[in-house]
Amino acid sequence: MNIEVVRPAELGSAAQASWQTMQRSEPQLANPYLAPEFAVAVGRVRRSARVAVLTDGRRGPVAFFPFERRTAGLGRPIGAGVSRCQGLVHASGLVLDPGTLLRACRLQAWEYDHLTDGQGPFATGTVRRVPSPMIRVDDGYAAYTDLLWRRAPGELRELRACESRLAREAGDLRFVFDERAPDVLDTLMRWHSARCRTVSRPDPFARPAVRALVSDLHDTRAEGCSGLVSALYANGRLIACTFGLRSRRVLVNRFPAYDAAFARYAPGLLMYLMLAEGAAGRGIDRIELGRGCGEGHEEQVKSADVLLGEGRVERGTRFAGLRAKHADAVRAVRARLGGGR
């Protein structure tokens, strides 16, 4: 097997087509964060972005490994800090020694915190699998809300009451599933940053590269990876919005935000219900709400969980051992703080 490491922008159209075919063949790989378009967008704002292309002489490309090479040979997932799904995009039945992959990528270790299912080469490095909430709408919106009624009728009744009260006191409600106005994304970033400061959480939009990446992704329109801003208005006034990435069947919510003046109406949770209805009507099977993207309120509207892996693979060097101890300490602190990323 041959392994060539390139910058994302150096991937040709044939390579990207092979990558997309692999994604379509395996449900767990259909996440937009695993798409070549995401890797290319990251490559435009982070010089550390790389893709290892694994080829078999007879079959052509058999796997793609997007990653970032940091100092001292530490590897991180591509788009680390933004990505909500990580791993090797590969053909079915691939057998791969992770040490061989790391050597070809000039990495001493690769750490991950949102590893998807079906990642055999990295199985031995996973130290824990953490549930991440999601909304399943593959059976339709009515089936989803029926599940919520059976599980927690009081909570859903209260949300419906908030919706009625909001419409009565603030004006007619309008939800836009795919809002393209650029000022909405700017408002979302401002609200999200303000909320991070209020609750003493790191603000991703304080980093210019993250702002540039999200803006770039918002303009990306491809079957496997499209930026999506959804917005809720009351009497024409924007009161809540969220940014995510979608593929044909999967929507991954990433940056929810709302106007603090309307907090008593639970606009973020109302928006999730409207998002679920809009997604069901557009052929989307599930909405992944994301670990640490909100403040735990997603538990009220989720219908299931997706398990994501945390861990690392390494080459057994002294560096990797020291890094492992550091990573364990960081993971323990994050766990005590609630697991937010």
Rounded percentage of the chain residues whose pLDDT exceeds 70: 91
3 state SS of 311:
strand
Which pLDDT value is given to residue 324? 53
| Percent of the chain as helix, strand, coil, to the nearest 5 | 45, 30, 25
d(CA 215, CA 255): 12
pTM of the model: 0.90
Q: Above 90 in pLDDT, residue 334? A: no
- pLDDT (average), residues 208-212: 95
Q: How confident is the model at residue 333 (pLDDT cuts 50, 70, 90)?
A: very low
Domain topology for 2-132+306-336? Aminopeptidase (3.40.630)
Note the Cα 176 to chain centre separation in Å.
Answer: 21
Class of domain 134-305: alpha beta
Q: Measured between alpha carbons, how far apart are the two ends of the chain, in Å?
A: 35
The amino acid that residue 52 corresponds to is A
Which pLDDT value is given to residue 94? 87
Q: 325 or 71: whose pLDDT is higher?
A: 71
Domain boundaries, the chain: 2-132+306-336, 134-305
Q: Above 70 in pLDDT, residue 319? A: no
Q: How confident is the model at residue 59 (pLDDT cuts 50, 70, 90)?
A: confident
- pLDDT (average), residues 331-338: 47
Q: How confident is the model at residue 341 (pLDDT cuts 50, 70, 90)?
A: very low
d(CA 305, CA 117): 13
User: Which of 28-32, 88-92, 188-192, 323-327 has the lowest average pLDDT?
Assistant: 323-327
Which pLDDT value is given to residue 339? 43
Which pLDDT value is given to residue 338? 44
Which pLDDT value is given to residue 8? 98
- pLDDT (average), residues 94-122: 94
Q: How far is CA 60 from CA 53, 263, 284, in A?
A: 10, 53, 31
Give the chain's mean pLDDT. Answer: 91
One fold for 2-132+306-336 and 134-305: yes
Q: What residues form DSSP beta bridges with 257?
A: 241
Q: What residues form DSSP beta bridges with 253?
A: 244
Q: How confident is the model at residue 317 (pLDDT cuts 50, 70, 90)?
A: low
Which pLDDT value is given to residue 250? 97
Confirm if 311 and 115 have CB atoms less than 8 A apart. yes
120-171 pLDDT, tens per residue? 889 889 999 999 999 999 999 999 999 999 998 999 999 999 999 999 999 9
User: Which of 6-15, 27-36, 71-80, 90-99 has the lowest average pLDDT?
Assistant: 90-99
**Which string of DSSP letters, residue by residue, matches 213-253?**
HHHHHHT-EETTEEEEEEEEEETTEEEEEEEEEE-SSEEEE
